[in-house]
Amino acid sequence: MASLILKAPLDGVVVPLEQVPDPVFSQKMVGDGASIDPTSQVLIAPCDGRVTQLHKAHHAVTLTTADGIELMMHIGLDTVNLKGEGFTAKVAEGDQVKTGDPLIEFDADYLATHAKSLLTQMLVTNTERLASLSPASGLVQAGSDDFLTIQTIADTGAEAEAAGRSVSSEAILIPNATGLHARPAAVLANLAKRFSSRILLTRGDDQANAKSVVSIMGLEIAQNDKVVIVATGPDADAAIDSIAPQLAAGLGDEGAVPAPAPATTEPDPANAPAPRPRSDDPNLLLGVAASPGLGVGSVFQLRRDEIDVPETAAGEPRVERRHLEEAVERAKNELESLQTELRAKADPAKAAIFAAHQELLEDPDLIDIAESAIAKGKSAAFAWQRAYSTHAERLSKLKNAIMAGRAADLRDVGRRVLGILTNHPTEEPAIPVGSILIAEELSPSDTAKLDPTQVLGFATVGGGATSHVAILARSLDIPAVAGIEPRALDLANGTQVILDGGKGQLRIDPDPAEVDRILTLKRKLAEKKQADLAAAHEAATTTDGHRVEVVANIGGIDDAKQSVTLGGEGVGLLRSEFLYLERQTAPSEDEQAQIYADIAIALDGRPMILRTLDVGGDKPLPYLPMPREENPFLGIRGVRIGLERPELLRTQVRAILRAAKGHKLRMMFPMIATIDEIRSVKGLVEEERAKLSDAGEVELGIMVEVPSAAVMARQFAREVDFFSIGTNDLTQYTLAMDRGHPKLGAKADAMNPAVLRLIKQTVDGAHTEGKWVGVCGGIASDPQAVAILVGIGVDELSVSVPAIPAVKAEVRTRSLADCQALAKQALSCDTAAEVRALVPTEY
């Protein structure tokens, strides 16, 4: 530990960084230090050092001390926009300076009239080297008064840095739809940690330690931000060669955001988070819809005990450090077993949340800060608690709702380690059956443990719709409201409430008639579910004997097994992406052939349609770097990838052909738009078949999800054995509405008559050529759509696994003649709402 005193760089009044009216500084995104409201006009060196960066607008300069501490001085706010006007640099990059040497002279009158503020910041940017920092207060005089006193910790990266040179990547545009949020930040940190060089992620003036998740997230990098990776050290070249392409390809991020939160760093008035809602009705509390559904139950306030920790260490710092290391290790093991358990339950989404927690525990900033406090005689528990709380606090203040939401993850994992350190295991409260939980905040670990038979819903004061807690609630099918008015915490245990997760409301002491209505509805729903389940293994036949096949959309072997249990008659869509995502290399032919055969065995003789890889510009694969596209949904995706980079598709085709030996497999190609495409693919299949001695028989089909395929259905039908209509994409391409768009997504309804007419055109074209048609888009799982699709003439409905019993039951409720009459009416409607009104639903 060393001490460094930095002299005032200007005459003026010291202002705490937190009071600077610019979040980049006040939230310490660039570094930690203090600000000064200047009365002089020459910025001087606060210590000896080398000028390592002079901004071309001459408003900011960075000095690096002999010990590697980086000090950035930034004159005024928004002064970069002055493009050098009003500033005169007195030094150049590479100059060696002594305390008191002039660095930049500026024209205070010009700045006062042309910039937002004259406040000048002095920041330590490599905060991982900071053990503590104390700014002066009041009036200071340049060069003579102390301004910042800092304690620094040894630089482990310095050796590496000294032993190598500095290499920068080319500028990279960030492709991730939600920017570098927790998951890609974790992937980046993990990649960077493989190298001994110091690695920085830079965006303009801002920079972050690329080995630190928190530091990366602190930059709030948004989609299309331009960044550069800078590596300094012995393996700098290798680091850039490895990291830059993966960063450009999206770090394996699918870009899928489950909820409509803005990801931009600039406030977008259209997307800006709404102010916390408040209700004037004393019996109605408002929040944000986090997980849909209605829960009627009694309040149970879930309070987590504060863990008391001694500030001063009982033992030597060495011993405390070991305690911390052991606790972190144990927490990682716990998280590892939690993930194994969740993967075994086929819940990879939840497992990924805890993988991100594990990554947070690898964060060097977090550990460094805790260890520096331990070195000063603090107990491991105290040092750890302060380190993670400070980081979480910093995250929670970020503008980007998604990143701010990750503060809960950090607190969760922090508390897990603290519980281990203090022998204070997170004991489970006895939650009464029929509870609606109210809590200040629920951690992802708390949520994953909730038992939906006991807990009928929950409301938290913190959190938002994009938090991991909300995602978990949706996957558990528990209604939830986030950001509820804090007075919810004052409700007495046992108070009757109705929680409406869809509207984001909590009704206190509701009208008994309303409670009755909801309970009756829920009871009817439960009874219907039971009845559908009881008949799940019977055929789906209309009252006049027309048989419709009801099969499943699956994403792996567990879905396949469950579909059989729920009466699925086969698989209408295996989304083979599951084999390709979340890994660093493509699956081999043998691995694929084995998995496809295993799934077919789980289906016990039932047929399966295997869709070839459907990824693209919107879902990049780390091992398949593709150029960034302006319009990924209109770019190289689906079968186009297979044709452009045929090695992947050829391997998959061989694997399917081999697995088809002895199993009923069909092969289907996504996103077919032209006849040339299907002919090319068929040629490719024949070439691969000719290479194999053990190929089975497979029928070939296409997804109809581009309007051109529907319009030309008859011609396509002559090329293939079957069609499956992907209404999710067909709707987005027909209506030109992005299916994941926060505002348009809900309007992109496949019940729109335009889409129904294309479905009819597809069915007619196929039937004329003697081919059959399935629907595998989401609409097939919607009970309101079933009779219309059957009436149009669809032969097979491929639905989400849980929907199988209800869809089969729906088919049984009408005659084919009724369905046909209904379809006729639907096709002549003007709007999706009119179509839906033809099939009213009680539920």
User: Which residues are annotated as catalytic?
Assistant: 468, 776
Q: Are 265 and 222 in contact (CB under 8 A)?
A: yes
Check binding of 728 to ligand PEP (CB under 6 A). yes
Minimum CB–partner distance for residue 633 and ligand PEP (Å): 10
Check binding of 31 to Mg ion (CB under 5 A). no
Q: CA 795 from chain center: how many Å?
A: 37
Residues 692-721 that bind Mg ion (CB under 5 A): 705
Q: Which is nearer to ligand PEP, 387 or 703 (CB)?
A: 703
Stretch that binds Mg ion, among 141-149, 425-433, 588-596, 723-731 (CB under 5 A): 723-731
Among 86, 233, 726, 740, interactor with Mg ion by CB under 5 A: 726
Minimum CB–partner distance for residue 127 and ligand PEP (Å): 43
Q: Which is nearer to ligand PEP, 505 or 727 (CB)?
A: 727
Q: Which is nearer to Mg ion, 328 or 794 (CB)?
A: 794
Report the run of H or E that residue 298 belongs to, with start and end.
Answer: strand 294-301
- Strand 772-775 relative to strand 722-725: parallel, antiparallel, unpaired? parallel
Minimum CB–partner distance for residue 778 and ligand PEP (Å): 7
Report the run of H or E that residue 572 belongs to, with start and end.
Answer: strand 571-575
Minimum CB–partner distance for residue 176 and ligand PEP (Å): 19
Q: Which is nearer to ligand PEP, 264 or 728 (CB)?
A: 728
Minimum CB–partner distance for residue 725 and ligand PEP (Å): 7
| Residue 454 binding target from Mg ion, ligand PEP, none, CB below 5 to 8 Å by type | none
Among 9, 33, 632, 726, interactor with ligand PEP by CB under 6 A: 726
Stretch that binds ligand PEP, among 134-142, 363-371, 615-623, 720-728 (CB under 6 A): 720-728
Residues 572-591 that bind ligand PEP (CB under 6 A): 573, 575
SS (H, E, C) 241-295: HHHHHHHHCCCCCCCCCCCCCCCCCCCCCCCCCCCCCCCCCCCEEECEEEECCEE
Q: Which is nearer to Mg ion, 458 or 716 (CB)?
A: 716
What DSSP designation does 222 have? -
Distance (Å) of CA 24 to CA 61, 207, 287, 399: 16, 11, 29, 10
Q: Which is nearer to ligand PEP, 413 or 755 (CB)?
A: 755
Check binding of 810 to ligand PEP (CB under 6 A). no
- Taking residues 683 to 712 in sequence order and writing x for each that binds ligand PEP by CB under 6 A, - otherwise, the string is ----------------------x-------
- Alpha-carbon gap, residue 9 to 101, rounded angstroms: 10
Minimum CB–partner distance for residue 575 and Mg ion (Å): 9
Q: Which is nearer to ligand PEP, 727 or 761 (CB)?
A: 727
Beta strands in 23-153 (DSSP E): 32-38, 42-44, 49-54, 60-64, 70-74, 87-89, 96-97, 102-106, 120-124, 130-135, 139-140, 146-152
Q: Are 446 and 416 in contact (CB under 8 A)?
A: no
Closest chain position to Mg ion (CB): 729
Residues 614-633 that bind ligand PEP (CB under 6 A): 614
| Residue 777 binding target from ligand PEP, Mg ion, none, CB below 5 to 8 Å by type | ligand PEP
> Strands of 480-482's sheet, edge to edge?
284-286, 505-508, 496-500, 294-301, 435-439, 455-460, 480-482, 288-291
Check binding of 729 to ligand PEP (CB under 6 A). yes
Check binding of 35 to ligand PEP (CB under 6 A). no
Stretch that binds ligand PEP, among 230-238, 443-451, 597-605, 723-731 (CB under 6 A): 723-731
Check binding of 157 to Mg ion (CB under 5 A). no
- Taking residues 70 to 109 in sequence order and writing x for each that binds ligand PEP by CB under 6 A, - otherwise, the string is ----------------------------------------
C-alpha dihedral, 644 to 647 to 649 to 653, nearest 10°: 150
Residue appearing with tokens 């010990």 = 67
Q: Are 652 and 612 in contact (CB under 8 A)?
A: yes
Check binding of 777 to ligand PEP (CB under 6 A). yes
Q: Which of 152, 115, 103 is nearest to 130 (CA)?
A: 152
- Alpha-carbon gap, residue 94 to 97, rounded angstroms: 9
**What amino acid is encoded at 436 in this protein?**
I
Strand partners, 232: 166, 198
Distance (Å) of CA 452 to CA 299, 443, 456, 474: 15, 16, 6, 11
Minimum CB–partner distance for residue 575 and ligand PEP (Å): 5
Stretch that binds ligand PEP, among 263-271, 591-599, 694-702, 724-732 (CB under 6 A): 724-732
Stretch that binds ligand PEP, among 183-191, 248-256, 516-524, 726-734 (CB under 6 A): 726-734
Residue 123 tokens read as 């920041």
Q: Which is nearer to ligand PEP, 46 or 670 (CB)?
A: 670
Minimum CB–partner distance for residue 671 and Mg ion (Å): 7
Residues in Cβ contact with 437 at an 8 Å cutoff, skipping those fewer than 6 apart: 300, 301, 302, 431, 450, 455, 457, 458, 459
Residues in Cβ contact with 56 at an 8 Å cutoff, skipping those fewer than 6 apart: 84
Q: Which of 158, 167, 185, 184 is nearest to 228 (CA)?
A: 167
Minimum CB–partner distance for residue 248 and ligand PEP (Å): 24
> 57: how many CB neighbours lie within 10 A of its CB?
17
End-to-end CA distance of the chain: 66
Stretch that binds ligand PEP, among 40-48, 465-473, 725-733, 826-834 (CB under 6 A): 725-733
Q: CA 190 from chain center: how many Å?
A: 17
Strand partners, 2: 152
Among 443, 445, 592, 727, interactor with ligand PEP by CB under 6 A: 727
- Residue 362, exposed/middle/buried by CB under 10 A (0-12, 13-18, 19+)? middle
Stretch that binds ligand PEP, among 196-204, 530-538, 722-730, 787-795 (CB under 6 A): 722-730
- Alpha-carbon gap, residue 300 to 489, rounded angstroms: 10
| Residue 209 binding target from Mg ion, ligand PEP, none, CB below 5 to 8 Å by type | none
How many chain residues bind ligand PEP (CB under 6 A)? 10
Minimum CB–partner distance for residue 501 and ligand PEP (Å): 25
Check binding of 618 to Mg ion (CB under 5 A). no
How many chain residues bind Mg ion (CB under 5 A)? 3
- Alpha-carbon gap, residue 133 to 152, rounded angstroms: 9
Minimum CB–partner distance for residue 386 and Mg ion (Å): 49
| Residue 322 binding target from Mg ion, ligand PEP, none, CB below 5 to 8 Å by type | none
CA count, 13 A, side-chain hemisphere, 287 = 34
Q: Which is nearer to Mg ion, 405 or 726 (CB)?
A: 726
Closest chain position to ligand PEP (CB): 726
Residues in Cβ contact with 116 at an 8 Å cutoff, skipping those fewer than 6 apart: 21, 22, 76, 77, 78
The full length of the chain comes to: 843
Among 729, 749, 795, 810, interactor with Mg ion by CB under 5 A: 729
Check binding of 776 to ligand PEP (CB under 6 A). yes
Q: Which is nearer to ligand PEP, 575 or 650 (CB)?
A: 575
Query: What value does the CA radius of gyration of the chain take, rounded to a whole number of Å?
Result: 31
Q: Which is nearer to ligand PEP, 409 or 577 (CB)?
A: 577
Stretch that binds ligand PEP, among 82-90, 414-422, 625-633, 727-735 (CB under 6 A): 727-735
Q: Which is nearer to ligand PEP, 562 or 728 (CB)?
A: 728
**What amino acid is encoded at 740 in this protein?**
G
Q: DSSP string spanning 705-747?
A: -SHHHHHTHHHHHTT-SEEEE-HHHHHHHHHT--TT-TTTTTT
Minimum CB–partner distance for residue 726 and ligand PEP (Å): 3
Give the footprint of Mg ion on this chain (CB under 5 A): 705, 726, 729
Q: Which residues bind ligand PEP (CB under 6 A)?
A: 573, 575, 614, 705, 726-729, 776-777
